[in-house]
Structure 1
Amino acid sequence: MSGHHPAPPSPATTGLGDFTTRPRALLVVAWALPVGAAGAVASWFLLRLIGLIGNLVFRQRLGTELVDPGRVHPAWWLVLGAPVLGGLAVGLLARHGSEKIRGHGMPEAIEAILTRGGVVAPRLALLKPLSAAISIGTGGPFGAEGPVIMTGGAIGSLFGQSLRLTAAERRTLLVAGSAAGMAATFDAPMASVLLAVELLLFEWRPRSLVPVVASVAVATALRVPLLGGGPVFPVDAAAVHLTPLVELLAVLCGLTGGALAVVTTWMVYRAEDAFARLPFHWMWWPALGGLVIGCGGLVEPRALGVGYDVVQQLLAGRATVSLIVGVLVVKSLIWALSLGSGTSGGVLAPVLMIGGALGAWEGMLFPSVVPGFWAMLGLAAVVGGVLRSPLTGVVFTLELTHAWDTGPALLISATSAYALSVLVLKRSLLTEKIARRGLHLTREYATDPLEAFFVREAMDAAPSTVGADDPLDGALAAACAERLRSPDRPQRLIPVLRPDGGLLGIITRRSLRAARAGGGTLTAADAARPCRLTVRGDDTLRRVACLFAEHALTSAPVVDPATGRPIGVIALRDLLHARRHQLVQEGHRERVIRPAGR
C-alpha cells in the first residue's frame, strides 16, 4: 500500500460530500440542534404519558410518575385484564393508524434509513408514543427507549422532509433524533452516539457523526430540567479490584449472558412465527400477547411494566432469590412471547432487567467484589448479545451506573456474549426482523480496500495511443479495433495525443465505427471524441468508482496533472485489484518466520 495521500476530491464531482469538504454539512449540524431538543421533549412526553396511563389503570388516580404494578398490589382481574385491553388498543391503532407502530421501534427506524431515504410518515410521530404508552402503561414488560428512538427519528425525519435535503442528510437527522431521544431517556449521551454508530448510521463519517453528537448534546442538556440529572441506577464501585480470577469469571458471565441472549432472541422469533400461523387477523395478536403478560403478572407481578426500580434493586445487590428467579423466568417469557405478538414496546429495559437478574444470580456463586458488580456484568453481557453492540453495552452500563472502575470487566463480559451470539445466531434480534422483510443488512465495519489503493497501482501503465495526425488507414484502424476488443485485456478507449503529447481526445469502438463508415481519408483526430472524464494517478480507486458511477463510464485516461499527458488508462475491471489484494490478505496463509534450518 502506498503511503501517499491524494488531494481531497471535489464533492461536486464525486458525490461523497464529507464534513471536511462540504461546508453544507455545518448546516446539517445546525439543523440537528432543534432536532435534539425535540427528541428530549419527546422522551419527557412519552415517560409522562406512560406514567399517566399507569396511574389511571393501576392506581385509579391522576399522576405522571412511573408506576410499578407489582408494588401497588392491584386486584388479580386487573393484572390479568389490563394488558389484554392494552394489547387490543395497540392492535386497533396499528390496524387503523399505521402498521409501523408494531414492534419495538428500532427495526422500523433501520428500515426507514435503508430503504426510504430517511422518510418516516408523519403520523408515526404521534401513534408510536401513544401505542407504546398504552402497552407499557397497562403492564407491558417493555421499555420506553425503542418507541422514543422511533419517535425521535420520526421527528428528525419530519424536520428533514420540510427542508430541501439529500437522502443522506435526512437519514442523519433521523438518526440524530433517535439518539437524542435515547440520551434524554437514560442520561447516556456516549452510549446513544455509539448506538447510533453501531445500529443506525451504517457509517463512521464526520458528515453524520458530528450532527448526531450535536443533537445528543442538546438533548442531554435539556434532560436535567425535564427529567433530572445524575445516574439512573447509581452504583458505588470505588472499591473495585479486578483480580485474574474475577476477569476469568467475567468471561463466564459473558458466555452465560450470551447464551441467554440467544435463547430470548430465539423465543421472540419463534413466538412471531407462532402468531403468524393463527387463523385470525394480526390486529388481535397483541391482545393475546396481553393475556400472556397478565398470566405472567399473576405469577410474578414485579415482571410487569418498565421495571426500573427492579433494575435498581438488582444493581444495588438488594434483590431476593425469588425476585431474581421470577425476573429470569417470567420476565423473559412474557417479554419474548408478547413482543412476538407485534405489540408496541422497547427491548432495552427488559434486557437490562433480565441481564441484571442473571448477573445477580451468578453473584451469589461468584466471589464478592462490590454490591451489584456481577449484576452489572450480566446486564452488559445480555445487551451486547441481544443487540450485538458490545461497545454500546459497556458504555451504556457505565453511564447508567457511573461505576467507571468496572469498565475492563464489563468489556470482557460484553465481548464474550457478543462472540457467542455471533457464533450461534446468524442474525441478531434487530437484523432478523430486517431480513424477514426481504432486506440485507451488514453491521461489520472495515476499511474499504478501494480507499487503500491509488490509480497508479492498478491502471494499465502501457496503453496503446495514437497521434492526432496519424492517418486512420486500414492497418491503424484494424490495430485500434483489435486493441479495443482484445479478449485478454480490452482497452475500452485509446487516447489520441496532440503533437506536444497532451490529450486531444479518445477513440472508442463507437467513434471508430462511425469514422470508418464515413469513408475518405481520415486521421485519428477525425475519429476522436471529447474526453468526458480524466483521473489522476494519485486518486484513490474509491474516487474513481464514484466518478464512473456518476458519469456512467467504465474507463478513463489517467493524466499527469503537471503536464496533462496521459500516463495510463484505468477501467472498471482494474478496480478489482483492491479486492484481489484483500482476498489474498484474508485467505492466503504463510509462515513468515521459519524454523532454523528450513
Structure 2
Amino acid sequence: MPVAPSLEPLARGAHIGGDPGGVGSRTLYLLALAALVGAAAVPVAKALLLLIGLITHLSFQGRWDWTLGTPGHNHLGAWVIAVPVIGSVIVGLMARYGSPAIRGHGIPEAMEQILLNRSRISARVLWLKPLSAAISIGTGGPFGAEGPIIATGGALGSLFGQWLHITPDERKTLLAAGAAAGMTAVFGTPVSAVLLAVELLLFEFRPASLLPVIGACSTAAALRVVMLGNHPFFAMPQLAWPQPGALLASVLLGVLVGLAAVAVTRALYAVEDGFDRLPVHWMWWPALGALAVGLIGWWQPRTLGVGYENITDALSGTLGVGALLLLGGAKLVSWSIALGSGTSGGTLAPLMTVGACLGAVLGYGVAAAFPGLGLDPRMAALIGMAAMFAGASRALFTSVVFALEATWQTSGLLALMIGCASAYMVSGLLMRETIMTEKIARRGVRVPSAYQADPFAQARVADHASMQPVSLPASQTVDELRRWLQQQGSAAHQGYALVDEAGQVVGVLTRRDLARPGLDPQTPLASLVTRVAVVVRAGESLHDALNLMTLHGVGRLPVVDDADGVTLRGMLTRSDVLGAWRQRALHATRLGH
C-alpha cells in the first residue's frame, strides 16, 4: 500500500514551482543556445545584404558589386519596368515549387507557426526566404531587408529547437530569439529587437523566455559591431530637446499618423483581397504587382529597392515638401501593390519611409502655422517614422526604442513616446487587427493582444480550498463506508482523502473505486488505494495545483500542511478552481468595487 512519506517526490516533481516564469537550469541552457543562434544570425544577415547588393548591381547596372546599391541610379530607361517583373516571376516559381511560406511579410508567418504549429518552421524556409527576398528586393522590390532576415532568424532558431530535445515552449523562445537577433544584425538595435519579440512573437513577458532573447540580441549586437562597425543606422543631425509646445504638437502628429496607419493597413489588405479575386494562379500575382512597381519606379526611381537612404534624407531635412509628398505617396502605392500580390518582402522600412515623409510634411505645416510651438520638422519626421509603425503594428515600445537606437537621438524620447502612444490609441480605437495579425486572423487564428500576470499564480490554495475537509479513516471497511454514504445522501462528495491514525494522507478514494465488481465488503479502504496520492501544499499557488491536476489527470487534490507535506489540511477540487476564476471575473466587471 502506498504511504504518505513517498508522496513528496511525486508531488514536488510534477510542476515548475511557485513562479511559472522563474529562472532555472533550463533557462541557462536556453540562454546558451540563444547566444549561438544570435551569433549565427549576424553572418546570415550580412550574407543577405551582400546578396541584395549583388543582385541590385547586376540587375540595374550590369556589374559585379556587393555593396548595398540604389536601383534608382540606373540608365535603363523604360526597360527598368521589366526588371521587377522578371524578379517576381522567379519568386513566384520559388514559392510554388519551393515553399509557399516564403510569401508575405515574414513576421505574420512566424506568428502563425508559433500559434498553430508548435513553433516549427521548415528547413527549406531557412534558405528560400532570404534568397527569394534578395531576388525580390535586388530587382527593385520596394521592401526592406529586415522582414526577411527576421523570418530567416526565426527559422534558424526554430530549427535549432527541432534538432535538440526541448519543449515546444522552449522552441518558441528560440524562434523569437532568432528573429530578434536577425533584426539586431540588420539595424544594430538590440533593445528594440527584444521588445519586438515580446510584443509580436513571445505573447508573454517572463524571465524564462526573456533572458534567452536578450542573450541572442546581445551576441548579435556585439558581433555586428565587429563586422559592420558601430554607427547609427539612420544618421541625422543632433536634435535639440523639444519644448512644451513641441510636445503638445507631438500629440497631434501621433493622432494624424495613427489615422494614416489605419488607412495604410486597410489599403494593403484591400489590395490583397483584389489579388485574391483574380482568375489566375497566385504564382503569377507577384509578376502583376511588379508591373506596377516597375511603372512607379520609372516615374519615381527612389521607390525601388530597400530605400534606407530615403528614410535618412527625410529625417535629415534634406527633402522639400513636394519631394516628400511624391516619395511617400509613390512608395506607399508601390509597396502596397507589391506586398499585396504575395511576393517576398518586409514591412518595416516601407512603413517607416511613409511615416517619416508624412511626419516631415506635417512638421513643416505645423512650423509654418504655429511657429511659437518650436516644432523641428526633423523631430516631426522622427515621430512620424516611429508612430506609423506603432499605429500599424501596435508594437508600441518597439517603435519608440527603435527610433532612438537607429538614430541615437535620445533627445526625442519624450516626444516619441507621446506621438507613438497617440498613434497606438487611434489604431486601437479604429482597427481590431493590425498589419501583422490581419492576414492570420482571417484564417481563424486568434492572436493575443494583451499580457497580464497569471491570476492563478497569485492565488494561494489555502484561500480557495475547503479547509475543513471530510476525510475517511484508512482502516475503515467498504461496508462501513457504504452505510455512511447512504446516511449522507445528497450531501456526500464524489471523492475523499484517506488518512491514517496520525492524520496523514494515505490516498484518495472516489465512488468509482467502490463500484468495482466482486469487492469484499470487509476490505479495508486502504487496500483500495492503487496509486500514490497527488497532494498540494496549502501555501502553494492555484497555478501549481492546476499543473498537478492536469499532469496526473485528477479532479481533486488533498491539501497538506506546509511544514511536513503529509498532514491533511483541506481539499481542493476543480469547482474550487473555477470559483476562483469566477471571483476574478466578477471583480474585473464590477465598477466601484
Task: State the TM-score, normalizing by the size of structure 1.
Answer: 0.92
1:34 aligns with 2:40: no
The equivalent of 1:158 in structure 2 is: 159
Structure 1 residues 292-303: aligned runs within 5 Å:
292-303=292-303
SS of the residue aligned with 1:520? coil
Indicate if the aligned counterparts of 2:92 and 2:283 stay in contact, CA closer than 8 A: yes
* Amino acid in the other structure paired with 1:327: L
- The partner residue of 2:398 within 371, 389, 392 is 392
* Amino acid in the other structure paired with 1:426: R
| Cα distance change on mapping 1:549 and 1:234 into 2, 3 Å | same
CA distance in 2, matches of 1:136, 1:478: 81
* Amino acid in the other structure paired with 2:41: G
SS of the residue aligned with 1:462? coil
The equivalent of 1:312 in structure 2 is: 312
Structure 1 residues 512-523: aligned runs within 5 Å:
512-514=514-516, 517-523=518-524
- The partner residue of 2:425 within 406, 419, 424 is 419
The equivalent of 1:179 in structure 2 is: 180
Q: CA deviation at 1:23?
A: 1.0
| Cα distance change on mapping 1:493 and 1:550 into 2, 3 Å | same
* Amino acid in the other structure paired with 2:591: R
The equivalent of 1:557 in structure 2 is: 558
Could you give the per-residue CA deviations for residues 291-344 of structure 1, whole angstroms, max 9, x where no partner exists? Answer: 111122233221221111110111011112222111332111121121111001
The equivalent of 1:547 in structure 2 is: 548
CA distance in 2, matches of 1:481, 1:92: 74
CA distance in 1, matches of 2:12, 2:99: 38
> Which stretch shows the higher mean deviation, 346-355 or 118-127?
118-127
| Cα distance change on mapping 1:560 and 1:82 into 2, 3 Å | same
SS of the residue aligned with 2:406? helix
* Amino acid in the other structure paired with 2:237: D
* Amino acid in the other structure paired with 1:508: T
Q: CA deviation at 1:463?
A: 2.3
CA distance in 2, matches of 1:542, 1:82: 58
Could you give the per-residue CA deviations for residues 548-577 of structure 1, whole angstroms, max 9, x where no partner exists? Answer: 111111111111133522111111121123
1:361 aligns with 2:361: yes
Root-mean-square deviation over aligned CA pairs: 2.3
Indicate if the aligned counterparts of 1:237 and 1:370 stay in contact, CA closer than 8 A: no
- The partner residue of 1:443 within 435, 442, 449 is 449
SS of the residue aligned with 1:366? helix
* Amino acid in the other structure paired with 2:438: E
Q: CA deviation at 1:12?
A: 3.9
Percent identity between the two aligned chains: 41
The equivalent of 1:480 in structure 2 is: 485
1:56 aligns with 2:62: no
CA distance in 2, matches of 1:125, 1:504: 54
Indicate if the aligned counterparts of 2:119 and 2:168 stay in contact, CA closer than 8 A: yes
Q: CA deviation at 1:370?
A: 3.8
Q: CA deviation at 1:199?
A: 0.7
SS of the residue aligned with 2:342? coil
| Cα distance change on mapping 1:524 and 1:277 into 2, 3 Å | same
Q: CA deviation at 1:481?
A: 6.7
> Which stretch shows the higher mean deviation, 252-261 or 320-329?
320-329
The equivalent of 1:407 in structure 2 is: 413
| Cα distance change on mapping 1:482 and 1:534 into 2, 3 Å | farther
Of structures 1 and 2, the one scoring higher in RCO (CA 8 A, sep 6+) is 2
The equivalent of 2:103 in structure 1 is: 102
The equivalent of 2:472 in structure 1 is: 466
Q: CA deviation at 1:281?
A: 0.6
Q: CA deviation at 1:35?
A: 1.1
CA distance in 1, matches of 2:490, 2:405: 63
The equivalent of 2:5 in structure 1 is: none
The equivalent of 1:580 in structure 2 is: 582
Q: CA deviation at 1:11?
A: 8.1
CA distance in 2, matches of 1:438, 1:58: 42
SS of the residue aligned with 1:372? helix
The equivalent of 1:4 in structure 2 is: none
* Amino acid in the other structure paired with 2:590: H
* Amino acid in the other structure paired with 2:482: A
Indicate if the aligned counterparts of 2:239 and 2:412 stay in contact, CA closer than 8 A: no
CA distance in 1, matches of 2:266, 2:315: 26
Indicate if the aligned counterparts of 1:11 and 1:18 stay in contact, CA closer than 8 A: no
CA distance in 1, matches of 2:271, 2:22: 47
SS of the residue aligned with 1:103? coil
SS of the residue aligned with 1:333? helix
Could you give the per-residue CA deviations for residues 122-156 of structure 1, whole angstroms, max 9, x where no partner exists? Answer: 11111111111111111111111110011111122
The equivalent of 1:3 in structure 2 is: none
Indicate if the aligned counterparts of 1:548 and 1:554 stay in contact, CA closer than 8 A: yes
SS of the residue aligned with 2:24? coil
Point out where structure 1 has 5 or more consecutive residues left out of the alignment: 1-8, 593-598
- The partner residue of 1:511 within 488, 510, 513 is 513
Q: CA deviation at 1:369?
A: 3.6
The equivalent of 2:502 in structure 1 is: 500
CA distance in 2, matches of 1:43, 1:380: 23
CA distance in 2, matches of 1:314, 1:520: 88
Structure 1 residues 341-380: aligned runs within 5 Å:
341-367=341-367, 368-370=374-376, 372-380=378-386
Could you give the per-residue CA deviations for residues 463-497 of structure 1, whole angstroms, max 9, x where no partner exists? Answer: 222222334446x42543787975xxx74421122
Indicate if the aligned counterparts of 1:192 and 1:216 stay in contact, CA closer than 8 A: yes
Aligned length: 577
Q: CA deviation at 1:406?
A: 0.9
Indicate if the aligned counterparts of 1:240 and 1:370 stay in contact, CA closer than 8 A: no
| Cα distance change on mapping 1:277 and 1:479 into 2, 3 Å | farther
1:77 aligns with 2:83: no
* Amino acid in the other structure paired with 1:129: P
CA distance in 1, matches of 2:169, 2:478: 49
CA distance in 2, matches of 1:290, 1:88: 9
CA distance in 2, matches of 1:83, 1:482: 84
CA distance in 2, matches of 1:481, 1:456: 30
Indicate if the aligned counterparts of 2:16 and 2:544 stay in contact, CA closer than 8 A: no
| Cα distance change on mapping 1:519 and 1:162 into 2, 3 Å | closer
CA distance in 2, matches of 1:473, 1:45: 78
Indicate if the aligned counterparts of 2:11 and 2:535 stay in contact, CA closer than 8 A: no
* Amino acid in the other structure paired with 1:402: W
CA distance in 2, matches of 1:26, 1:383: 33
Task: State the TM-score, normalizing by the size of structure 2.
Answer: 0.92
| Cα distance change on mapping 1:464 and 1:483 into 2, 3 Å | farther
Could you give the per-residue CA deviations for residues 159-216 of structure 1, whole angstroms, max 9, x where no partner exists? Answer: 2222222222222222211111110100101011100111111222222211111111
Point out where structure 2 has 5 or more consecutive residues left out of the alignment: 1-9, 368-373
Indicate if the aligned counterparts of 1:316 and 1:371 stay in contact, CA closer than 8 A: no
Indicate if the aligned counterparts of 1:315 and 1:372 stay in contact, CA closer than 8 A: yes
| Cα distance change on mapping 1:492 and 1:256 into 2, 3 Å | farther
CA distance in 2, matches of 1:342, 1:177: 24
Indicate if the aligned counterparts of 2:478 and 2:514 stay in contact, CA closer than 8 A: no
